[in-house]
Amino acid sequence: MRKTFPESVYNPITLTGAAIALVSFGLILFIMLLEALSPSQKPYMGVIVFVILPVFLILGLILIAFGMLRRSRRLRAGKDIVFKFPQIDFNDKKNRTAFSVFFVGTILLLFFSAFGSYKAYEYTDSDEFCGELCHKIMDPEFTAYQVSPHAKVDCVECHIGPGAGWFVRYKLSGAYQVYATLFNKYPRPIPTPISNLRPAKETCEQCHWPQFFYSRKEVNNTYYLSDETNSRFSLNMLLKIGGGSEETGITSGIHYWHMDIVNKITYIASDSSRQTIPWVRTESKDGNVTVYKSRNFHFKNDTVPNSFVRTMDCIDCHNRPTHIYHNPYDAVNKMMSIGNIDTALSNIKSVSVDALENSYTTKNAGLDSIKIIIKYYYKTKYPDIFAGNSKAIEKSISIIQNIYDKNYFPEMKVNWKGYPDNIGHMYFPGCFRCHDGNHYSTNGKVIRKDCNTCHLIISERDIKGKAESSLNGIQFEHPIDLGSPIDEVTCTDCHQE
Ligand code: HEC
Ligand code: HEC
Ligand code: HEC
Ligand code: HEC
Ligand code: HEC
Ligand code: HEC
């Protein structure tokens, strides 16, 4: 017999290994071909192509090597006889039958494994797979995303980004996620922040140029209090977003100060959700270093617990750019201000917020209860309104149900409270994690808290209808008297749940 390969190849182990390796390699090529020809992307097929099949491929290769080693050692020891393929005598009817069965069987097996992998491939693309297996878990993130400014940006643009390294990293963690899903081992709610999120430089900054200069952004807010007349007040402010670069000459504002343009800011958080920041360090381009420490925080031997130093990037402020779970106050104010919830309904602000904030066991129970609670409230407390304004009540109820539907996910234990939004300072510490007026450097510099640092309130109309305005900024008139100057209070003392 003429042999193409070295003698050591011809042994059952190596040949079996070769068969396994060839079949899995063939399947990988087959699936990659399908993926190339298919118009849509199927993320979890990647798990099969990049994780499961390669395991078999590698197993096959190991078997080949092991078989060869074992046989060459035996050959050297003179133990092994020359390998011979079995001789099959086709004149014997039994051999002919056995061969036909084997031959037809092999063809069928190959056909079905190709067919099977094609079916598996189709399945990962089906609504059933995504809907039942993944969407139930990511329903909160997905729902919020669909009504956000990034609804047209693919998940992978922020969660994976360009380049092969992170792609493979995510495919591997994707395999774990499939396992966690199938065996019901995923956490509820899914924790935030994501500890190993790809740095924003490599994701957000692919689309948003950090040195880009944004001028001031105007924000108009209308608020309603939780009293009988739903007292209304509104304000108008300019946010000093800024940005820019030394070359263009226009440099100022929030982005300019934090985004590695003049300063590199690093910090240490003492909790895993990064809500308490006792230590902050800035390093200017010419190497000046300033360390700020919170006077409210008790440092043991001058060290900070959990001393993982993080470099500030977009996510430290924009941590909810797309999975935005709106708090009930803002969401109801918004709907009232555009007339979708009727402001003539007595107490509608507080009733709506209470109905949304009750805890319900399932989404459907929540939606049904909201209707019952609000109807019952007007029926018993304001029978006249109930009789005369039933249309307005019905419409308001459907709007409130919609707010619930988009922002509360009881099955996954997800709502706004578990997901701090770091932009602002009213419902979560946000900017005041550092800008609380209590972070001092050794030479007495403070991270500023004064109310005009980040925005100018240019007009405000209070609950009595009195308006005040100035382009130089006016002081914020809190709707109810707080008893102390506004720049000395911490909003979250009262407004955080
Ligand atoms: C605009 C960028 C962006 C897009 C697009 C995006 N995400 Fe996110 N995602 C984020 C950021 C930022 C976080 C929070 C990271 C942090 O705080 O560490 C996050 C967090 C998450 C989390 C963790 C739980 C949480 O809510 O914090 C999940 C799960 C998630 N995203 C899934 C998805 C899915 C599924 C899609 C596509 C439907 C998607 N994301 C699209 C930026 C994005
Ligand atoms: C694939 C491109 C892309 C990526 C990646 C991306 N964005 Fe955006 N982003 C957009 C687009 C498009 C808009 C909408 C633009 C507009 O309204 O002018 C937007 C809008 C925004 C806004 C304004 C939202 C508003 O309320 O108007 C913020 C803030 C933002 N992005 C932050 C981020 C952050 C933070 C990340 C990284 C986690 C990110 N973006 C990643 C494309 C992207
Ligand atoms: C120190 C906090 C902070 C950091 C860090 C930060 N931003 Fe912002 N950014 C803000 C604030 C505050 C606003 C205005 C409020 C808003 O739009 O929600 C804003 C607004 C924006 C907008 C919307 C501008 C507009 O005209 O509507 C974009 C886009 C944006 N940021 C992108 C980024 C990107 C990309 C990064 C990272 C390179 C980043 N930001 C880092 C605080 C920050
Ligand atoms: C991790 C701590 C940290 C957080 C969080 C933070 N900042 Fe800052 N910020 C700083 C430090 C430190 C400086 C001072 C930089 C300097 O003096 O070199 C600063 C400076 C600024 C300045 C310039 C102030 C000046 O002197 O003109 C503005 C504006 C600003 N921050 C806005 C914001 C806004 C808005 C937020 C929230 C969206 C925010 N910051 C969140 C640390 C932080
Ligand atoms: C470090 C920057 C910074 C400082 C200092 C600061 N603010 Fe703000 N403030 C913000 C940002 C950012 C927002 C969110 C704007 C938005 O809606 O996107 C905000 C929002 C607000 C709002 C609207 C709240 C809401 O969610 O509707 C009020 C009112 C307000 N600030 C008042 C004040 C007062 C009063 C002070 C002084 C004690 C102050 N701010 C100091 C950054 C700052
Ligand atoms: C001592 C407690 C307390 C502090 C501190 C406080 N507030 Fe309030 N705030 C209230 C109360 C009470 C209301 C009335 C709520 C209602 O009627 O729904 C209110 C209402 C508001 C509203 C209208 C809310 C809505 O639901 O429409 C805004 C905006 C507001 N406060 C901003 C701030 C800001 C910004 C700060 C920090 C600079 C702050 N508050 C600090 C107690 C406080």
315-355 confidence digits (pLDDT tens): 999 999 999 999 999 999 999 999 999 999 999 999 999 99
- CA gap 366, 368 in Å, rounded: 6
Q: Give the lowest-confidence range in 3-12, 44-53, 417-426.
A: 44-53
Can you tell me the mean pLDDT for 358-385?
Answer: 96
Q: Residue of the nearest CA to atom 26 in ligand 4? A: 448
Q: Is the CB of 329 under 6 A from ligand 6?
A: yes
pLDDT of 266: 93
- Residues found in the chain: 497
Q: Is the CB of 158 under 6 A from ligand 1?
A: yes
pLDDT of 98: 79
pLDDT category at 312 given cuts 50, 70, 90 is: very high
Q: Is the CB of 318 under 6 A from ligand 2?
A: yes
Question: Higher-confidence residue: 51 or 206?
Answer: 206
**Ligand 4, CB within 6 Å, residue ranges:** 240, 253-254, 257-258, 263, 265, 267, 277, 280, 282, 292, 312, 316-317, 423, 430-431, 433-435, 447-448, 453-454
Q: Residue of the nearest CA to atom 12 in ligand 1? A: 319
- Ranges 36-45, 84-93, 200-209, most confident: 200-209
Q: In angstroms, what CA-CA distances link 8 with 4, 31, 62, 73, 83?
A: 11, 33, 15, 9, 9
Which atom of ligand 5 is nearest to 254's Cα?
Answer: 2
Task: Check: CB of residue 255 under 8 Å from CB of residue 243.
Answer: yes
pLDDT tens string 119-139: 666 665 555 554 455 667 778
Question: Higher-confidence residue: 27 or 447?
Answer: 447
- CA gap 280, 455 in Å, rounded: 22
Give the position of tokens 């990962």: 124
> Cβ of 367: how many Cβ atoms within 10 Å?
18
Ligand 3 centroid, distance to 30 Cα (angstroms)? 45
The residue type found at 166 is: W
Q: Which of 228, 478, 486 to mutate to test the pocket of ligand 6 (most atoms within 8 A of CB)?
A: 478
Ligand 2 centroid, distance to 3 Cα (angstroms)? 63
pLDDT category at 24 given cuts 50, 70, 90 is: confident
Task: Check: CB of residue 199 under 8 Å from CB of residue 313.
Answer: yes
pLDDT of 53: 78
Can you tell me the mean pLDDT for 243-247?
Answer: 77
Task: Check: CB of residue 45 under 8 Å from CB of residue 31.
Answer: yes
Q: Which of 22, 44, 42 is nearest to 34 (CA)?
A: 42
pLDDT of 182: 60
pLDDT of 210: 75
The first and second tokens of residue 155, run together, are 């998940």
Can you tell me the mean pLDDT for 344-373?
Answer: 97
Q: Which of 265, 252, 313, 258 is nearest to 292 (CA)?
A: 265
265 dihedral zone (left: phi>0; alpha: psi -120 to 50; beta): beta
The first and second tokens of residue 432, run together, are 């005041």
Task: Check: CB of residue 10 under 8 Å from CB of residue 83.
Answer: yes
pLDDT of 131: 47
Ligand 5 centroid, distance to 80 Cα (angstroms)? 83
Which atom of ligand 3 is nearest to 217's Cα?
Answer: 26
Q: Positive or negative CA dihedral for 415, 417, 420, 421?
A: positive
The first and second tokens of residue 135, run together, are 């969407």
Ligand 4 centroid, distance to 395 Cα (angstroms)? 43
Q: Give the lowest-confidence range in 38-52, 407-421, 451-465.
A: 38-52
pLDDT tens string 142-173: 888 888 999 888 877 887 777 666 666 665 66
pLDDT category at 245 given cuts 50, 70, 90 is: confident
Question: HSE-up of 176 (CA within 13 Å, CB side)?
Answer: 7
Q: Which of 272, 274, 323 to mutate to test the pocket of ligand 1 (most atoms within 8 A of CB)?
A: 323
Q: Output b/e per residue, 144-155; b: 16+ Cβ within 10 A.
A: bbeeeebeeeee
Q: Residue of the nearest CA to atom 21 in ligand 3? A: 241
Q: Which of 436, 480, 486, 487 to mutate to test the pocket of ligand 6 (most atoms within 8 A of CB)?
A: 480
- Ranges 153-162, 255-264, 298-307, 468-477, most confident: 468-477
Q: Which ligand is nearest to the CA of 214?
A: 3
Question: Higher-confidence residue: 345 or 307?
Answer: 345
Q: Is the CB of 317 under 6 A from ligand 3?
A: yes
Ligand 1 centroid, distance to 417 Cα (angstroms)? 17
How does the average pLDDT of the chain come out, rounded?
85
**CA 61 remoteness from chain centre:** 39
pLDDT above 70 covers a percentage of the chain that reads 84
Can you tell me the mean pLDDT for 102-106?
Answer: 80
